[in-house]
Amino acid sequence: MAVPDIFKQRSQSENWDLNNASTIQSNTTVEADVIIIGTGAGGGVTAEVLSQAGLKVVMIEEGGLKTSDDFNMNEIEAYGDLYQEGAGRSTKDGAFSIFQGRTVGGTTVVNWTSSFRTPTSTLEHWTDVHGVKGFSAAEMKPYFEQMEKRLNVEKWKMAPNANNDILKRGCEKNNWSWAVIPRNVAGCWDLGYCGTGCPTNAKQSMLVTTVPEALKNGGSLYYNCSADRLIFSNNKVESVECLALGKDGKTPTGVKLSFKAKHIVLSGGGINNPGLLLRSNAPDPHNRIGKNTTIHPVNANVAKMPDTVNAFYGAPQSIYSDQFQWPADGEMGFKLEVPPMQPTMGGQILGFHGFRLIDTMKDLPNLQATIALLRDGFTEQSQGGSIELDPSGKPILDYPLTDYIWKGLRKAHHAMAELQFAAGANQVMPLHHDAKFYKTLAECKTAIDNLPQEIHRERLLTAHIMGGCAMGEDERTSVINSDCRFHHAENLSIIDGSAFPTSIGANPQLSVYGLALKQASKLAKQLTNS
């Protein structure tokens, strides 16, 4: 409360049109110039740009509206309120935990603020292999620059917390490259609770930047409002049919909301966009919707350090290493970073019970964790996963682990062990069902080579869901064109991370912002001229 809840304050002083679908009593039809489904990185920027062009936008959000007064650095509360499936989402076979936002502002409300431009090699790959046009580094540069300015993206100027400093120290000792992470924060308190919603509004998420701007410009927001179906007719989306969700944020109240506009934008992310299209029987002659979903598979090592780390405090990510990101031998590349380690996150990834669990958890203040984010989707041996619908019509991600990925995961465990021991770790444990803490690098490396490469034994997670509605000029291999226009309807765009033809090779938020700014600017011109 000491920090003003700027969303609440502005909503009153600027008289924003906020609509909680839970409380709407009867079926309603809403008309606007543009309907945007989803309020995360893609939808937020699109809403800002289109509203600034004078278009009437309506934003639809399945999650609830939670603002800084609700963000209390409480993991259980935050996972339940702000994440898809209460942070319990997983891939079809349960191999990966999926962390994705579900709230006004989307994943930008709960991400760890790392803001990288799309690597040039990734953009070149999209151009060369996927035939995407307009995405050269030179063409994208002005969009990244503008978004960096808009969201105050700067390299973190304060000292890294001990968790990140160990990553830096390990890289220095091994003579590996490392750098400071640019973050989208303004007046950051260096708390460490980005993942539970920023209590000081320092994080420049969509919740405090673009969504308010769109509302100020006369836009409307409907939350607790789940997009159920797009109605296709005469090569167009005629309407978006939504279900009002009750106070529990999940159960439909029975009230139906119908949204009509001359243009529709999907920004619901790599799982929900394909889900909505599949549920709507969207035209898909080449069976491309929900294909090549990439996730930056993440594995981790935990180290016991001689000194206190307190990895639960301080800016969660401020140092990274791309030493292994673009290997010359064609093996899978990965980025090295660290995660914050609050006790819920820490406790549930260990996979121990009884005394072994508490013996590890009691050292929480001395634990350092390193993660590797593998760059998937770039080779024949790593084609990503696919989205399908469960019998209730909800999307599920089926993500197969190939030998190529297993090789990458093993290489990442080795690199992380080398890093942690070099930084002075007393003991290192790869996060795997059959691993324990090892006292020497040699012992640890031998163990890593012998860990069974089986799902449910390797601890895997993802927080970056990309692709599934890929851009491209050939409709046999893509869902949307290089302007993010759906190949098979005149008035439908898909603007967010689901448009990526591959993974990014870096935390993707700034890649989404840049893409959205580019595509929404073009769309604004087209819609205001017609």
Partner 1 sequence: MNRRSFLKLSATGSAALAAVGATASLSGCSETLPENGQWRVLRSQDRIMLAAIAPVMLKGSLPAEPTANKAGVDTIIATIDEALFKLDAHNTKQISDLFTLLTFGLTRGLATGVWSKWENASEAEIENFLNSWRESSIGLLTLGYNGLNKLMCATWFGQKEAWGAVGYPGPPYADILITKKSV
Which runs of E-coded beta strand occur in 44-145?
57-60, 96-98
Number of residues that bind partner 1 (CB under 8 A): 60
Residue 344 within binding range of partner 1, rule CB under 8 A: yes
Interacting positions 250-279 with partner 1 (CB under 8 A): 250
CA distance 462 to 469: 18
165's tokens: 């400093």
Pick 285 or 391: Cβ nearer partner 1: 391
CB of residue 349 to partner 1, shortest distance in Å: 8
Q: Which of 10, 20, 24, 85 binds partner 1 (CB under 8 A)?
A: 85
Residue 74 within binding range of partner 1, rule CB under 8 A: yes
Nearest in space to 112 (alpha carbons), one of 509, 516, 517: 509
Backbone angles phi, psi at 89, to 5 degrees: -65, 145
Pick 283 or 343: Cβ nearer partner 1: 343
Residue 199 within binding range of partner 1, rule CB under 8 A: yes
Pick 156 or 193: Cβ nearer partner 1: 193
Identity (one letter) of the amino acid at 433? H
Interacting positions 211-230 with partner 1 (CB under 8 A): none
Q: Which of 7, 16, 79, 143 binds partner 1 (CB under 8 A)?
A: 79
CB of residue 525 to partner 1, shortest distance in Å: 38
Tell me if residue 119 falls in helix, strand or coil: coil
CB of residue 377 to partner 1, shortest distance in Å: 23
Helix (H) or strand (E) holding 106, with range, is: none
Who's near 309: CB < 8 A, 6+ residues apart?
A: 162, 163, 166, 365, 366, 367, 368
Span from 54-62, 89-97, 331-339, 518-526 in contact with partner 1 (CB under 8 A): 89-97
Pick 358 or 442: Cβ nearer partner 1: 358
Say if residues 37 and 265 touch (Cβ distance below 8 Å).
Answer: yes
Interacting positions 399-458 with partner 1 (CB under 8 A): 433, 454-457
Residue 1 within binding range of partner 1, rule CB under 8 A: yes
Residue 90 within binding range of partner 1, rule CB under 8 A: yes
In this structure, are strands 153-155 and 298-304 parallel, antiparallel, or unpaired? unpaired
Residue 348 within binding range of partner 1, rule CB under 8 A: yes
- The percent of the chain in helix, strand and coil, each rounded to the nearest 5, is 35, 25, 40
Span from 67-75, 281-289, 496-504, 510-518 in contact with partner 1 (CB under 8 A): 67-75
Who's near 72: CB < 8 A, 6+ residues apart?
A: 78, 196, 199
Say if residues 112 and 506 touch (Cβ distance below 8 Å).
Answer: no
Q: Which of 7, 135, 312, 486 binds partner 1 (CB under 8 A)?
A: 312
437's tokens: 């803490």
CA distance 527 to 530: 5
Q: What value, to the nearest 5°, has the Cα angle with vertex 67 and ends 65 and 72?
A: 120
Q: Which residues make up the interface to partner 1 (CB under 8 A)? A: 1-3, 69-70, 72-76, 79-80, 85-86, 88-90, 92, 94, 97, 189, 191-193, 199-200, 248, 250, 312-313, 342-344, 346-348, 350-355, 357-359, 361-365, 390-392, 394, 396, 433, 454-457
